[in-house]
A and B are shown apart, each in its own frame.
Chain A
Amino acid sequence: QQQVKQSPQSLIVQKGGISIINCAYENTAFDYFPWYQQFPGKGPALLIAIRPDVSEKKEGRFTISFNKSAKQFSLHIMDSQPGDSATYFCAASYSNYQLIWGAGTKLIIKP
């Protein structure tokens, strides 16, 4: 199966809280897992990406956790800020194949 299932569809978090978005995949051939952030009126932009040889990758307040055996990966946003309010997409890919996208999560950070 080529699907990537993303949850939740929408998320409201208080400023300073932790935002968590989850994705699950079926195809064990996937070896590249990026997260994209999209603001209204803009194209998506890469936030952070991970490959299956590591279980966690951190860049500033953003962390990807990867569980190869469960075929799941998640995005954690620490100390969430109003400027983080956006739509987040997870994706997966493997060599010479297109990115398979999750359905997106609309994140709202309440001040």
Chain B
Amino acid sequence: KAGVTQTPRYLIKTRGQQVTLSCSPISGHRSVSWYQQTPGQGLQFLFEYFSETQRNKGNFPGRFSGRQFSNSRSEMNVSTLELGDSALYLCASRPTADTEAFFGQGTRLTVV
């Protein structure tokens, strides 16, 4: 069974640009969550999608948005990139809300 796949693995963008990250969940998993992790920091929750609907949202500015497609694949978009957006962005999928979350390897975003 394939795990959670995130693409790309690494990304370098310039301040002011926008970026789209992709996450393919484990087959059959309908919940996809996104997290931002900076060095020495914990997991900052961005949002969760379940069956194409945003179910929960963290405290991030509107520059951070996401969506989920009918095949459960999810994308996260960050517009008007700032230097502080440099981080590891993790995607996690789970079959239902109160079960194990499986994480991808993450996308390392560097904003210069």
Contact = CB atoms under 8 A, between A and B. Distances in A.
Partners in one complex: yes
Interface of A: 31-32, 34, 41-46, 49, 89, 93-104
B42 A103 contact: yes
Nearest to A44: B103
Nearest to B91: A43
B48 interface: yes
Nearest to B105: A43
B42 A99 contact: no
B97 A93 contact: yes
A45 B103 contact: yes
Contact of A49 (B55, B56, B100): B100
Interface residues of B, number: 23
A94 B42 contact: no
Given A43-B92, A45-B103, A95-B97, 10 more contacts: A32-B99, A41-B105, A43-B105, A44-B103, A46-B100, A46-B102, A94-B98, A95-B98, A101-B43, A101-B45
Contacts of A89: 42-43
B104 A98 contact: no
B41 to A, nearest CB: 8
B76 interface: no
Contacts of B103: 43-45
B56 A46 contact: no
B21 interface: no
A100 B92 CA distance: 13
B12 to A, nearest CB: 17
B81 interface: no
